[in-house]
Amino acid sequence: MSSVGRECVPAGPPGGGGGRGPSHLARIHGTEEDKVNCPFYFKIGACRHGDRCSRIHHRPAFSQTVLLQHAYRHPVREAELRAAAEGRDAAEVRVDGRRAREDFLTFYEDLHLELAKFGRIDCLSVCDNLGDHMVGHVYCKFFDEEEAADALQILNGRYYAGRRMEAEFSPVTDFREARCRDYDEGHCSRGGFCNFMHVKPVPGCLIRSLEDEAEDDRRREEHERRERRRRDRDRGHDRDRDRNRDRTRRRRSRSRSRSRSRDRSRDRDRDREKRPRHGSQSGSRSRDR
């Protein structure tokens, strides 16, 4: 049966307050000896006592790991709910193992591709536990905290497969401490109600295929972004050329207008010069008569 590891705390030096200094508190933080902070929430990101726990659940403001609560529809729990709705005994519930496995792999593949849109995934773990505080939990650890923050902002409250997702940052970053070693070895005596993670196994070839596909998608999106930026720059250059061409046309038009105005002014001046000369010739002719 799984158990939380304990640490041996050496006795403090004489007169040192029994070793209760900062180094001692840091050493016991998140262990059974820590009477203030909940060790299960620290290691697993979930506690069967929930908000009624007598110890503090420190919810991180930032983390590489995002917890999607109850995102996976566990086939056993779903079958029990259907039996209860139909008035049947839950003990009579039977689950088709092969179909359940295929449904899980389909769920894992879809969710991995969806989460990979936010960044590179270090670890994606789906719980096989049946306890109310852990059933269907999905933990996604990103390589970068900013990518995890982007995923949390978009996914929290979003609907997936007809269910509203509840996402939060998780303190779990080392899944070796969170996993049930007995389950990994195939013989956990507590079954689905163990308080440590029963992480559903996923074929390594599927994980590598999904990672390669996600990397190809990132490269394609980066290429498309570069192409859009290049087209935007080209359109900007075209707009600048058009504006320059328009300015040149306007300058030429103004220049032609000024030239026509000067021509009309010269014509008027010539007309004025001609008019008095015609008048003087008429006066001289009248005098001669």
pLDDT at 31: 61
What is the tens place of the pLDDT at every residue in 14-41? 444 445 566 655 555 556 667 788 888 9
Contact 214, 195 (CB under 8 A): no
Per residue, what are the HEC states of 42-94?
HHHCCCCCHHHCCCECCCCCCCCEEEEECCCCCHHHHHHHHHHHCCCCHHHCC
Average pLDDT value for the chain: 82
Q: Which whole-number Å values give the CA distances from 194 to 3, 122, 134, 174, 205, in the listed order?
A: 10, 25, 10, 18, 28
Can you give the pLDDT at residue 267?
Answer: 66
**Could you tell me how far CA 198 lies from the centroid of its own chain?**
26
Say yes or no to pLDDT of 99 above 60: yes
C-alpha distances in Å from residue 110, one per residue of 77, 160, 199, 262:
21, 10, 18, 77
Determine which helix (DSSP H) or strand (DSSP E) holds 189, and give its type and residue range. Answer: none
Helices (H), 59-186: 75-85, 97-115, 145-155, 175-178, 181-185
Q: Quickly tell me which residue has 């902070």 as its tokens.
A: 37
Inter-residue contact 118 to 150 (CB < 8 Å)? yes
- pLDDT for 116: 95
pLDDT in tens, 60-88: 999 999 999 999 999 999 998 888 888 88
The whole-number average pLDDT for the span 89-103 is 88
Q: 124 near 139, Cβ under 8 Å?
A: yes
Q: What is the DSSP letter of 263?
A: H
- The answer to whether the pTM exceeds 0.75 is no
Q: In the sheet where 138-142 sits, what is the strand order?
A: 121-126, 138-142, 65-69, 166-170
Domains, the chain, ordered by start:
58-202 (3.30.70.330)
CB 32 within 8 A of CB 43: no
pLDDT at 234: 77
Residue with tokens 């307050």: 17
Q: Are 12 and 19 in contact (CB under 8 A)?
A: yes
Cα distances (angstroms) measured from residue 32 to each of 7, 104, 176, 194:
9, 34, 17, 17
Overall average pLDDT of the 87-101 stretch: 86
Q: According to the model, what pLDDT value does residue 204 have?
A: 94
Helix axes 75-85, 97-115, angle to 10 degrees: 120
Q: What pLDDT was estimated at residue 13? A: 44
Residue 183 has pLDDT above 90, yes or no: yes
User: Residue 45: is its pLDDT beyond 80?
Assistant: yes
